[in-house]
Amino acid sequence: MNVQPQKTARDSLNGCQNFTLAGALAGARLSLPVAFSAFPFGAVFGVMARQSGLSLGEAQLMSLLVYAGAAQFVAIGLWSPPLSVANIVLTSSIVNLRYVLMGAALQPWLSRISRLRAYGSLFFMSDESWALTMQASASGKADGAFLLGSSLGQFTSWGTATFLGYALGSVVSNPSKWGLDFVATIIFASLLVAMWKGKGDLIPWLSTALVAVVCSWWLPGKWYVLIGGLTGSLIGALRSEQ
């Protein structure tokens, strides 16, 4: 009997050649629930930016040019006199190091489109749009523009929410009182459920969680995010080669 080898997620990430409006629209449609869910999270950042003394223009520019939710919250937390730019840049960079792993995961799929399209799409990528794109690319149902489409909806939502949150900052003085600080956790948990492929994911996921929790006890800052992610990625890669 001819037994076919089990196909891994990486094997299914065939390089895409198309970059179409239809692909972008497909990504935008699938990202709508996530974009709406992320809206309160962006509004919380607007509130906190105002409370930290940033002007509306500064808060809006951070959301449009930096566009990294977790790193923006870290920066706001460190935004107090005397302002240490080096500390803010270093800490934010550590938090965003996970994007190196995320970009590497998409490389086999984006390698066949132009660099301008690939890197232009990656600029707008978020954790949620990356997860949606990984699902779509693994199933072979999306072209290269899917990442851009799924990212732009969230980018627009985040920028709009920042503006409204800043405008309402004098009214909502304590976002955690309304549970708005828990929105990101809910979003990520729902995406993890959608990415679950079976018992084979259990060991890498548990290893990531365990290492991240232990490192958060012993290491300062957000190093536990990177170390936990690297641990799970390494274990997953070793298991896929077996």
Concatenating the DSSP letter of every residue in 94-155 gives HHHTHHHHHHHHHHHHHTTS-HHHHHHHHHT--HHHHHHHHHHHHHT---TTHHHHHHHHHH
Nearest 5°: the CA angle 48, 127, 136 is 150
Residue-wise pLDDT for 96-106, tens only, equals 877 888 888 88
Residue-wise pLDDT for 16-34, tens only, equals 668 889 889 999 999 998 8
Q: Specify the pLDDT at position 2.
A: 43
Cα gap 188→191, rounded to integer Å: 5
pLDDT at 161 over 60: yes
Residue 43 exposed, middle or buried by CB count within 10 Å (0-12, 13-18, 19+):
buried
